[in-house]
A and B are shown apart, each in its own frame.
Chain A
C-alpha cells in the first residue's frame, strides 16, 4: 500500500522509463551526443528561445532523447560496493562532456542502496556511490560547482519485492539534472 516505488517514480519521473530499459545501450552514443551538442549550441539562432543559458526548450532535448546515451541516468553497483563498473564509464563520460559543454547545467547525483541492513550505514553507502560517480566526472574535468551529491540510502528502495532482482535495481546512483 505504501510502495516507495511510487515515490521514486515521482521523484525521478523521467528516469523510470529509462532504467527499465537500462540494459539496452546504443553503440552510436558518442556520435549522438556530439550531434545533440551542436544542436544545443544552435539553440540561440533558431529563433525564439530565450537568449543565454537555457539548453531546454529544444524540440529534441538530448537529455530526454531515448536514442541518446544522455537519457541513461543510472549507475548500478554490487552489494556493499561503491566502485563504478567499467560498463558505466561511457555513459558517465557522455554526461561529463555535456556538463563541460553546458557550464550552466547542474546535476544532482543521488546515491541509493537496497533495503537490507542499517539505514544509517546505507545512507553513508549511498553517499559513497554518489561520490564515486562524481569522482569519475571530476577526473574528466567537471567542476564541483556543477555537481551536488546526495544520498537517500535505502529510503527510496522498492520494498514491494524482497529478492536480488529488486535489490540490484536499488543499488544505484541516479544522475538528475537541475530542473528536471
Chain B
C-alpha cells in the first residue's frame, strides 16, 4: 500500500522502432460474402520523394483493405488509364474492370524535407468523388498516412470507422525473455515497451492510448504497473499483499478495475489511476476475476466460479448484486464488451476446446466464432468488427483474429518465439 505511488524509472525499457518491417505476418482466411471491388492506382511519386515499390502508399492501403476481408482489391496493371488526379480518370476503363470504387493519388516532395500526399476516392458508376484529402507530412509518417487514407476509404464504403491507423499490444516470449510490445495494427513497427525474465500478462490500454497497464511477475509475484508510452515512465499501481492482477481501464480513464487476493480469494476492486481510492466491488467466497467495464462505465462484467464453474457475471461498478450473464456451457471466461455495448465476447471451453464465442446481450443468442482450439484473451477492434485473440499454432503461442460475424478469419504469425495476450488499442484521433 505504501509503494503504490512510488514512481519508478524504468531502466530496462527498450524503444527500438523498426521501420518497414512486420513482426507479424497476417494471413487472411475467408472473407465477407460480398466484397467491395476497389481499384487502387499506384500513387505517383516525384523524383526526390520516397515511397516506391513495396513502400508505395497504395500497396499499404491495398493490404489494409484486403486484410479486412470486406474488399476485393483489383489488379490495375492491365489497365491503360493510370490516373493520379480527377481530370485524368477515364471512367469506362474502370467500369470495364468492374471496379465499384477507385482510389488515385500522388506523393510530392515539399521544401524542408516534407511530403505532400494527396488522394481521391471516387464512385466509378456515379462518377463522383467520395473523398479527397491532402496531407503535409514528414517522410517517416508515410505508413501512418497510408493507414489513415485506408480508414477513410473503409468508412466511406462500409459506413463504419476503419481501424487501420490503430495499434495493438501483445506479449512475446523468446527463450526466457518476455517482452510487452506495441505495433501498428498491421504488425509493422513493433516496439518493446518493457521486457523481463519473468512473465508479463494482461496488458490493458488506457482509453486515450497513451498508457498501458499490465501485470509483471518480475518481483516473483504479480504486481500491476502503469506505463506511459510517451515517456516510458512507469509506476506500480497496485502492489498489495498477495496477487495484483487483471487491470482494466474505466471508459473515462480515471479508474481501473483490478483483482486483489490479499491472503484469500481473487476479488474485484476499483482504484484511481494514481493508486488512491481503493474500493471493493465483489464480495464472495469464490474466484472473481477478469473485470471489464461496460462502455457507459456503470457496470463491470467479470468471471466468477461462485456457481461451481466459471461463468460471466455483471455487477454495478460501485458494488451490489451480481447477475449471471452466461448460461450455456460449463466454462466461460475472459469477458470483453463490444464498443457499442451490445455484444459480449468470451472464451468457452467445450469438449476440451477453448474457442472465441460471442453473445448478443439483448437476445442472449450465442455463436462460437473461432475454429481454433486453445483460444485466450479476446480483444475487440475499436469499431467492433474484428476480435483479436491468442491461440496455439504448431505448439507455439500465436495470434489470430475473427470478425464478429465469424466470416473473416486472420492468422498472425510471428517468426520465432511465442506471442500471446493481445490487446487492441483505442481508435486513433
Smallest CB separation, A123 vs chain B (Å): 5
Per-residue 0/1 for B158-198: is the Cβ within 8 Å of any A Cβ (1 yes, 0 no)? Answer: 00000000000000011110000000000000000000000
Q: Which residues of B lie under 8 Å from residue A118 when comparing CB positions?
A: 290, 303, 310, 333-334, 347, 376-377
Smallest CB separation, A85 vs chain B (Å): 18
Could you say which of B221, B245, B347 contacts A117, with CB atoms under 8 Å apart?
Answer: B347
Could you say which of B175, B201, B392 contacts A120, with CB atoms under 8 Å apart?
Answer: B201
Q: Which residues of B lie under 8 Å from residue A1 when comparing CB positions?
A: 174-175, 417
Given contacts A131-B265, A150-B243, contact A121 B303 (CB under 8 A): yes
Are B265's CB and A124's CB within 8 A?
A: yes
Interface size on B, residues (CB 8 A): 44
Question: Is B217 close to A, CB under 8 A?
Answer: yes
Q: Which of B50-58, B111-119, B256-264 is found at the contact surface with chain A?
A: B256-264
Given contacts A116-B374, A121-B334, A150-B220, contact A127 B261 (CB under 8 A): yes
Per-residue 0/1 for A58-71: is the Cβ within 8 Å of any B Cβ (1 yes, 0 no)? Answer: 00000000000000
Are B333's CB and A117's CB within 8 A?
A: yes
Are B202's CB and A80's CB within 8 A?
A: no
Question: Is A72 close to B, CB under 8 A?
Answer: no
Question: Is A97 close to B, CB under 8 A?
Answer: no
Chain B minimum-CB-distance residue to A118? B333
Smallest CB separation, B217 vs chain A (Å): 6
Q: Which residues of A lie under 8 Å from residue B334 when comparing CB positions?
A: 118, 120-121
Q: Which residues of B lie under 8 Å from residue A153 when comparing CB positions?
A: 201
Question: Is A149 close to B, CB under 8 A?
Answer: yes
Q: Which residues of B lie under 8 Å from residue A123 when comparing CB positions?
A: 201, 222, 243, 245-246, 266, 289
Could you say which of A2, A119, A124 contacts B377, with CB atoms under 8 Å apart?
Answer: A119
Give 20 A-B pairs besides A120-B246, A123-B245, A123-B289 with Cβ atoms closer than 8 angstroms: A1-B175, A2-B176, A80-B310, A118-B290, A118-B303, A120-B201, A120-B202, A120-B334, A123-B266, A124-B243, A124-B265, A124-B287, A124-B288, A127-B242, A127-B243, A127-B265, A150-B243, A153-B201, A155-B199, A155-B217
Listed in ascending order, the chain A residues whose CB lies under 8 Å from chain B are: 1-2, 6-7, 80, 116-121, 123-125, 127-128, 131, 134, 144, 149-153, 155, 159, 162
